Amino acid sequence: MPAKLSVNLNAVAMLRNRRDLPWPSVTGLGRIALAAGAHGLTVHPRPDERHTRHADLPEIRALIDDEFPKAEFNIEGYPSEDFLALVEKNQPEQVTLVPDDPAQATSDHGWNFVAQAAFLTPIVKRLKKGGLRVSLFSDADPAGVNAARDTGADRIELYTGPYGSCHSDSAKAAKELERLGKTADAAFAAGLGVNAGHDLTVKNLPALAKRIPALAEVSIGHGLTADALEYGMAGTVGRFLKACGW
């Protein structure tokens, strides 16, 4: 089965937040994405609410529950106590833990699973006890995969930023793709599922899907939202689904 597509709504929320107005509607665009075939919605609520606001989360939860019950809600973020409380209140199907500093513009690296195991393990246990699937943001490094598994996590999400940044250098892209592939191979061998996200596009997705055919999910925001300005949200979701292999 091809990788499922989760549409990250942060870029939509950031555009909305440029004005004190209710448009573009985060839930409205989420509805269009799901109706067009997306398998889920992703948000990354940061402490300053510079894009997704905390108030958006119950609305997205209700949208999925009421209109698209087979879709999944994925909440990403650094696991502060405030974030964990937000997650537990809104009950996503999946939580993706990222090692972000609050001041970061966007996620740009994965966890050091060995060094941060003592921090992550009880958090993963807490979330899984609440019935949530847990994914950990990971660099393309096979050496850390067993330590990720030992935290109790269900999946890793491969940070594909270095691969996505090679849009004009095919040789470098091939090397980055193989690093991602080897990390995924190690994760599968360790019993983990594998997601991927960051700077993925309709151009670089097919090669990723071919190299990692058992990829469970891709979470895409910036590139998808940029394309939606040209092709519309529904048309863009269709293009990305095709790039995933659907």
39 is in an annotated binding site: no
Whether 157 is catalytic: no
Ligand-binding annotation for 46, yes or no, is: yes
Report whether 211 belongs to an annotated binding site: no
Q: Is 8 known as a binding-site position?
A: yes
Task: Spell out the residues 6+ positions from residue 164 whose beta carbon is closer than 8 angstroms to its own.
Answer: 198, 199, 200, 201, 204, 223
Is residue 220 within 8 A of residue 6, CB to CB? The reply is yes
Could you confirm whether 198 is annotated as catalytic?
yes
User: Which member of 39, 72, 157, 198 is catalytic?
Assistant: 198
Q: Which of 76, 157, 176, 217 is catalytic?
A: 76
Could you say which of 39, 44, 157, 217 is catalytic?
A: 44
| 54 known ligand binder | no
Q: Residue 76 catalytic?
A: yes
- DSSP secondary structure string, the chain? -PPEEEEE-HHHHHHHTTTTS--S-HHHHHHHHHHTT--EEEE---TT-SSS-TTHHHHHHHHHHHH-TTSEEEEEE---HHHHHHHHHH--SEEEE----TT-SS------TTTTHHHHHHHHHHHHHTT-EEEEEE-S-GGGHHHHHHTT-SEEEEE-HHHHTTTT-HHHHHHHHHHHHHHHHHHHHTT-EEEEESS--TTTHHHHHHH-TT--EEEE-HHHHHHHHHH-HHHHHHHHHHHHT-
74 is in an annotated binding site: no
Binding residues for 3-amino-2-oxopropyl phosphate: 8, 19, 199, 221-222
The catalytic residues are: 44, 76, 198
Binding residues for 1-deoxy-D-xylulose 5-phosphate: 46, 51, 106
Binding residues: 8, 19, 46, 51, 106, 199, 221-222
